[in-house]
């Protein structure tokens, strides 16, 4: 069973993603504070990350860069899920190492397809 680490400061979002992805057969762990993400990732060694961009430090851009700088996670897929729909944010996120970018709102089944494709 693939492990997914969800990092988003929105409690409702993490709850929804966690319930849906668990139903889809994934083992999920959610964090609402990005400052703990690296420590938790090192403990659970996820197969995929889901990150929000707009969070208290480190924001999702920096967290993505930090994950990519760690040899354990340099190839682990990262999906960005955010309300930021401007081109600059997408370019920065992909430049930071994101594999995919979903803009809120979106259909929850689209997330399942993207997760499956990356795993």
Read off the pLDDT of residues 84-113 as tens digits, 9 standing for 90 and up: 999 999 999 999 999 999 998 899 999 999
**For the chain, which residues make up each domain, given as ranges?**
3-118
Work out the average pLDDT over 114-118. Answer: 97
pLDDT digits (tens, 9 = 90+) for 53-71: 999 999 999 999 999 999 9
Structurally, what CATH architecture does the domain formed by 3-118 represent? 3-Layer(aba) Sandwich (3.40)
pLDDT value at residue 92: 97
pLDDT digits (tens, 9 = 90+) for 11-53: 999 999 999 999 999 999 999 999 999 999 999 999 999 999 9
User: How many other CB atoms sit within 10 Å of the CB of residue 47?
Assistant: 17
State both tokens at 48: 């995929």
pLDDT value at residue 45: 98
pLDDT value at residue 113: 96
- pTM (predicted TM-score): 0.95
Look at the block and give the residue holding tokens 């997760």. Answer: 115
60-69 helix and 37-44 helix, angle to the nearest 10 degrees: 40
Q: How far is CA 100 from the centre of its chain?
A: 9
pLDDT value at residue 95: 97
């Amino acid at each position: 069973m693939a492990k997914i680490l969800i990092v988003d400061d929105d409690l409702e979002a993490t709850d929804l993603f966690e319930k849906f992805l668990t139903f889809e057969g994934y083992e999920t762990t959610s964090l609402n504070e990005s400052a703990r993400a690296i420590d938790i990732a090192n403990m659970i060694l996820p197969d995929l990350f889901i990150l929000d961009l707009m969070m208290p430090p480190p924001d999702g851009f920096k967290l993505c860069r930090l994950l990519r700088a760690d040899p354990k996670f340099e190839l682990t897929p990262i999906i960005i899920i955010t309300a930021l729909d401007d081109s600059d944010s997408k370019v920065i996120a992909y430049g930071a190492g994101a594999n995919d970018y979903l803009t809120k709102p979106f259909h929850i089944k689209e997330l399942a397809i993207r997760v499956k494709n990356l795993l």
